[in-house]
A and B are shown apart, each in its own frame.
Chain A
Amino acid sequence: MTAGATLKAPLLEASRVGKRFGGRAVLAGVSLAVGAGETVVLVGENGAGKTTLLRICAGLLTPDEGAVTVRGRIGYCPQDVGVLDLLSADDHLVLFGAGMDMPRKRALSEGHRFLDELGFPPGERGLVRDLSGGARQKLNLALALLGDPPVLLLDEPFQGFDRGAYVSFWEHVEAWRKEARAVVIVTHLLAESHRVDRVVELAVTS
């Protein structure tokens, strides 16, 4: 199956990727290329391998077949909120920023900017375990955006978002396109499909 190709120089290129879990083939011969300034939405039934493909593209899973090439750093927003319950949002920004060689001040100012834009509760200094599901997801997304990575892999990034945050997210998608980033979004919601360059459907592999 060829999930799409692009004429622009791809920042992300997956070629004939296959993955099996146990005896079941989740992905078979999937190719995906996403160029700079391009936004692709991945859709498909449960079990079609959307998250698996995204994790393979992020380098978090090894494909059984095929290869993935990425030009530039990856910002990855997992479906299950990947944060630590006993740290605050600021702690996360400092911790993740240090991995990108960002000084503490810069990580906090950049992170606060993303959090503010997404409608994270202003001045929230509490622990993540005390945040609402939507606020946790905003932090989850903000951590993926930290350091302005050229490739964004976002797995159901607006789960639990309120209306304002959802609108803000799609405004960001347009901004990312102008900034020449390659963006892949896994979602079940196609209401905003007119705002993306391509919709790629993965089918359940029989």
Chain B
Amino acid sequence: MSRAARVLVGAEMAGRELVRRRVALALLTGLPLAFYGAAAGHSPDAVETGGVAMAFSVSGAAIFAALSARAVDERLALAGYRPSELLLGRLLVLELFAVAVAALFALVMVIGSDPAHPGALVLGVELVALVGVPFGLAVGALAPHELEAVLVMIGVVGIELSLETSELVAKLLPFWAPRRVLQFSLGGGAPLGQMTLLSIAYAFALLAAAAWLLGRRLGQRAIAAA
């Protein structure tokens, strides 16, 4: 069986697990809608707030996927999986989920807020989804338990939402570039291409961190094969 086939089987099982978390999925999908809905009536920043809050959905799903798999990751590595295969399988299915939820959510915001650049709004929300999955996988690989992981996620996204994009700390956070794209969609000035590339680079950096953490945990083969 090829490496790609192992990744696909891992993705299939991660997908089955994900769809069986129906209540959690509904809550995760409803959360950014609630943020957007709460701000839409009175705040010009509703698109920004809602768009960045998408991170709660996709990062949350990634955290649950990473942490629930810990019970079997060691055994799967013993069975023959490489840590990168386990990670890629999860990444594949979570990104599919994230892109779909982001598209749906972007559509709601385009209809609800009539932005100056609807395409940029869709792009901004999709970039949040793109970065959010590896962010969740990295946090899930680092945190010891679900509570700590969720607190880290809430902390990072919460700080992101409470800072102006011009502040230095905001610029260091993972969802800064997608947020700038969302600002552009409302008529603000932002170098769209640069922000898109920065988001993609951040996503790859987070994925590399998640791979390193998982590899460190599973890759310590302390035995010699004779």
Contact = CB atoms under 8 A, between A and B. Distances in A.
Nearest to A76: B78
B225 A58 contact: no
A60 B75 CA distance: 9
A7 B221 CA distance: 27
B16 to A, nearest CB: 6
A99 B79 contact: yes
Interface string A41-68: 0000000000000001111111100011
Contact of B224 (A62, A69, A84, A87): A69
A27 interface: no
B75 A59 contact: no
The A contact surface, by secondary structure, is loop
A199 interface: no
A78 B75 contact: yes
A100 B79 contact: yes
Contact of A68 (B9, B20, B78, B223): B223
Contacts of A69: 223-226
B154 to A, nearest CB: 24
B1 A70 contact: no
Contacts of B10: 95, 98
A143 B68 contact: no
A99 B76 contact: yes
Question: Considering the complex of A and B, which 6 residue pairs feature the smallest CB-CB distances, nearest first?
Answer: A99-B79, A99-B80, A98-B9, A59-B223, A62-B222, A101-B1
A82 B74 CA distance: 9
Interface residues of B, number: 28
B72 interface: yes
Given A85-B68, A86-B68, A99-B76, A70 B13 contact: no
B16 A87 contact: yes
Given A85-B68, A87-B17, A95 B1 contact: no
A196 interface: no
Interface in B1-51: 1, 5-6, 9-10, 13, 16-17, 20-21
A166 interface: no
B222 A71 contact: no
Contacts of B78: 58-60, 74, 76
A76 B10 CA distance: 20
Interface string B207-226: 00000000000001111111
B71 A84 contact: yes
Contacts of B156: none
B223 A103 contact: no
Contacts of A68: 222-224
Contacts of B74: 60, 78, 82
Given A69-B224, A95-B10, A101-B1, A86 B76 contact: no
A82 B68 contact: no
